[in-house]
Structure 1
Amino acid sequence: MRSVFHGWWVVAAAFAVTFVGFGAAYTFSALFAPLQLEFAASRASVSAVFSIAGFLYFALGVVSGPLSDRWGARRLIVGGMIVLAAGLALAAAARSLTQVYVAYGLGVGLGVGLAYAPALGAVQRWFVARRGLASGLAVSGIGVGTLVLPPLAAALAQSVGWRGAYLVLAVLALVVGGGMALLVESDPARRGLTPDGAPPPASAPPPRGVALGEAVRTRRFAGLYAGCLVCGFGVFTPFAHLVPYALDHGIAPTRAALLLALIGAGSTAGRFLLGGLADRLGRLPALLSMFVGMAAAMGLWAAASDFAALAAFALAYGVFYGGWVALLPAVVADYFGGRAVSSIIGVLYTSVAFGTLVGPIAAGRAYDAAGSYLVPIVLAALANLAAAAIVAVTARAPTSSR
């Protein structure tokens, strides 16, 4: 075990944290119908639970990222897993939808928000040449969590109810996420190591890269921020509404929950395969192709009405969504270096937070008003194309703000 470069243990820890964090969050669609039935609520009202959580776990990176750069990632990640477990346990005891907003929305949102940016930032510091692969492996936990936990939650909901499902998820968050988080270290130099396991120099150089304040004033950062903001309005709509969409088209609940697992399967493949491929072919061009791919997949969803077509959408969307999540932090580190990478990632993800807050609720309202998801699906596709154009136009701008 001592012969294994410790950076890979940091990757494994980030994998476990994203597995339980986002896996638990993305069980929401599998439990959408039981929640709607339990509280006799509209789809827009139930969707708000996911939107609150999504907004918080991306928005909180603006706080957790800088704190991670200052204090180290481990304590924030462990704290996040504890908060996540507490939120899921309290959601299991909720007696009103408002209580679900508070327990699930705040617990999952704050818990994942405390852990996500620090975990990704820690991984970036341990790698340079293999950064795309390491980042892809780390966030493939999201894909595997989406593959495993929604079907598990759906099965638990049928056997022990949705409340029992949330209790099981709480235990997983605490044991798996909290336990593995203890392996995270933020700085290879503390072990006498350098990124990628290269021999350390005679004297350790200072961390390369630009400070947060300088990074956020660049056109490159502005392009990434605007692109992710636009993309965010639609990117998480399937995670809240794909299962209800399938139920509307006569698909059985267990098969509908399987669609989320297929997004997870595609996402896992995308993160494993595309991260390493992007290291060789270019991480920025690969990121742009992910936006275009998500838009094309949305076109499949707009035309789908049976399980086979929805399964094809879920797999395709998962691949490109997974690649987007894997490549974004790697591109940030390529642009700005490792000096303040957790802080920069945290600020960047506030863009996704605003889109996540608005998108699923807006899709639910569109359905409540028109009885159809067509308009939000088409708008999500157009948003991804716009995001690709914005990031491409600003990619050639200098890294320095001066």
Structure 2
Amino acid sequence: MNSASSTNPLFYGWVVVAAAFVITFVGFGSAYTFSAFVPSLQHDFGASRGSVSLVFSLAGFLYFALGVVSGPLADRWGARSLAMLGMVLVGAGLALASVARTIFEVYAAYGLGVGLGVGCAYVPAIGAVQRWFVGRRGFASGIAVSGIGVGTLVMPPLASWLIDILGWRSAYLVLGGFTAIVGVGMSCFIANDPRDKGTGPDGVPLTKGEATIVSTGASVGEAIRSPQFVGLYAACLICSFGVFVPFVHLVPYALDHHVDQTAAVLLLGVIGVGSTVGRFFLGGLADRIGRESFLSMMFIGMAVALAIWGIATDFWPLAVFALLFGIFYGGWVAILPAVVMDRFGGRNVSSVIGILYTSVAIGTLVGPTAAGFIFDMSHSYTLPILASVSANIIAAGIAVFAMRAPRTAMRG
């Protein structure tokens, strides 16, 4: 199938990509502001670092785990309504966190609201993008999920600024209103199937009775029983124990090493810069060198970056870590949905992505929380960082082995 027509500015697939970009920007951007709120939450509620970390972990668990529900619903009913619901829930969760009286109410408002909201929107939006492209799938997927990177760049400094001038409660309220308005508005542009716009993937016109990649592929049962899915699941599970530790603990780590508050929060923005670069540019590179080999390279890259974190104590070494980690993390997030589409086809792509992301959910729940409680006991992040490095090396080996398995047969 010729993908040249995908460069046509009128091709609606790029509108879907833009909508998914904004959804991931406001959804994950709001979620990743959490580190900027940690000092305020610790101060106001007298909470330990481990217990505060649990708020982020709960949200992360939910927004990845819920894909197992939202993915199949999107395959059946379309992604637009689920994305809209998700953005409403994110906005409501942030707004309710602003009036929390105890740390447990923050758990309920932020954890459940943001977690359920991103969970409703993320997998359906990203799954919809996969159906619109073939030849440039990695590039399109990378742009869509680069909203996470740009959100990580823009939203934490914005949150820090709002906290400084309004206080943490009003900051949550403002972020909630912004997320709901912008997120719901852009969700209206999500479309599940290029055939609804009279084209096949990449904008190629359909002929009468032509089947497209959208309607072909493995059943959910065939996909999840395949050795390549089992390997991908194991690799993502192990990797995720360490991948999300920096999003919660990098700012406190920097503050512990006498980096000032503004510069410490800026490190999250540096992760966002790297992540944006990784998602924009590495997705297209993966299309050329092979998306499956590229996936294993991203695990190794994250391990190397995390090793740098283990020896960094000043702002600039930490910034180098943050940039490199962001690049490889962004590449991993960008290419994973495209690998799923390549391996299992488009018929149930959102369902398969949603099930795969439950592995990330478990890692997100356990990793940052365990790192927080280990710090509370040892007053050091050395063990969590070393464990994160090891997890990514093991994940790379599993991914290489899994990708050698025969491709799952496609069927209509």
TM-score, structure 1 as length reference: 0.98
The residue number in structure 1 matching 2:3 is none
Match of 2:160 in 1: 154
Q: Does 1:377 align with 2:388?
A: no
Is 1:266 paired with 2:281? no
Distance in 2 separating the partners of 1:5 and 1:286: 28
**Letter of the structure 2 residue corresponding to residue 375 of structure 1:** L
Mapped to 2, the partners of 1:39 and 1:193 lie a distance apart of 55
Distance in 2, Cα, partners of 1:286 & 1:62: 25
SS in 2 for 1:186: coil
Contact 1:218-1:401 within 8 A present in 2 as well: no
Report the counterpart of residue 190 of structure 2 in structure 1.
184
Contact 1:77 1:181 in 2 (8 A): yes
User: In structure 2, what is the equivalent of residue 138 of structure 1?
Assistant: 144
Match of 1:303 among 304, 308, 311: 311
- One-letter amino acid matched to 1:340: N
**TM-score, normalised to structure 2's length?**
0.96
Shift of 1:3: 5.0
**Distance apart, 1:203 and its partner CA:** 1.6
1:89 to 68, 86, 95: 95
The aligned amino acid for 1:189 is R
Write out aligned runs for 1:6-25 (5 A): 6-25=12-31
Partner of residue 359 from structure 1, selected from 351, 360, 367: 367
CA deviation vs aligned residue, 1:248-286 (integer Å, no higher than 9, x gap): 011111110000000000000000010011111111111
Structure 1 unaligned blocks of 5 or more:
none
Alignment-derived partner of residue 218 in structure 1: 226
- Decide whether the 8 Å contact of 1:218 with 1:398 is kept in 2: no
Structure 1, residues 3-31: CA drift from partner, whole Å, max 9, x if none? 52100000000000000000000000111
Aligned counterpart, 1:278: 286
> Equivalents in 1 of 2:84, 2:400: separation in Å?
37
Letter in 2 for 1:392: V
**Which residue identity lines up with residue 337 of structure 2 in the other structure?**
P
Please state how far the C-alpha of 1:401 moved relative to its aligned partner. Answer: 8.3
**Is the 1:147–1:263 contact (alpha carbons within 8 Å) kept by the matching residues of 2?**
yes
Contact 2:343 2:408 in 1 (8 A): no
The answer to whether 1:175 aligns with 2:181 is: yes
Q: Partner residue of 1:30?
A: 36
| CA-CA distance at 1:176 after TM superposition | 1.1
RMSD over aligned Cα atoms: 1.1
For residue 211 of structure 1, report the CA deviation from its aligned partner. 1.0
Corresponding residue of 2:323: 315
- 1:61–1:114 CA contact under 8 A, matched in 2: yes
Q: Report percent identity of matched pairs.
A: 62
2:341 equivalent in structure 1: 333
- 2:356 paired with 1:348: yes
Contact 1:59 1:353 in 2 (8 A): yes
| Separation (CA, whole Å) in 1 of partners of 2:126 and 2:409 | 24
Q: What is the alpha-carbon distance in structure 1 between the residues aligned to residue 266 and residue 36 of structure 2?
A: 9
Preserved CA contact (<8 Å) 1:140 1:271: yes
Deviation at 1:201, TM superposition (A): 2.2
**Cα offsets for 1:166-223 (capped at 9, x unmatched):** 1111112111111000000000011111100112123231612111111000000000
Q: Look up the SS of the partner of 2:313 in the other structure.
A: coil
Q: 1:399 offset after TM fit, Å?
A: 3.1
What is the aligned length?
A: 401
Matched AA of 1:321? Y
